[in-house]
């Protein structure tokens, strides 16, 4: 896989923010390791129910709050979820509906929630 300098990464981030290009694919192995059955269930709940708080996610899934928070942090790390601070609460927002893994390069690209299927 090609190595990228910090300057190149900054320029890419700026171009993505301006809408001039799509982000580069990310390494897939860490994401795949993080996608347990529980993480997939959590993503499904976020996409279907759009809960306003982590407490609501806990209610919907029946999982312990620390467990849900840890899973959401991992999903955020991989660009599938955004955790938005709203006063004292944190609102989990799904930002990826699906992703494609390229087995040849070992990378993945996420399809945003806003894009059509």
pLDDT score for 1: 46
CATH of 23-112, one of 3.30.70.270, 1.10.10.10, 3.30.43.10, 3.20.20.140: 1.10.10.10
Q: Quick one: pLDDT at residue 60?
A: 96
The pLDDT-based confidence of 71 (bands split at 50, 70, 90) is very high
Q: What mean pLDDT comes out for the span 62-74?
A: 95
Mean pLDDT of 73-84: 91
HSE, CB side, 13 Å, CA atoms: give it for residue 83: 16
Q: Is the per-residue pLDDT at 3 higher than 60?
A: no
Q: Where are the domains of the chain?
A: 23-112
**pLDDT surpasses 50 at 117:** no
Measured in degrees and rounded to the nearest 5, phi and psi for residue 8 equal -65, -40
Does residue 91 register a pLDDT over 90?
yes
**Tens of pLDDT along 5-15?**
767 767 877 87
């Amino acid at each position: 896989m090609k190595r990228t300098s910090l300057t190149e990464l900054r320029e890419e981030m700026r171009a993505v923010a301006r809408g001039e290009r799509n982000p580069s694919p990310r390494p897939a192995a860490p994401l795949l390791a993080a996608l347990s059955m529980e993480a997939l269930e959590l993503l499904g709940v976020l996409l279907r129910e759009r809960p306003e708080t982590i407490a609501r996610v806990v209610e919907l899934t029946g999982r312990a709050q620390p467990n849900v928070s840890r899973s959401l942090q991992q999903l955020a790390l991989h660009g599938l979820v955004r955790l938005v601070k709203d006063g004292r609460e944190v609102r989990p927002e799904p930002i990826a509906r699906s992703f494609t893994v390229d087995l040849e390069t070992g990378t993945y690209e996420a399809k945003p929630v806003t894009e059509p299927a």
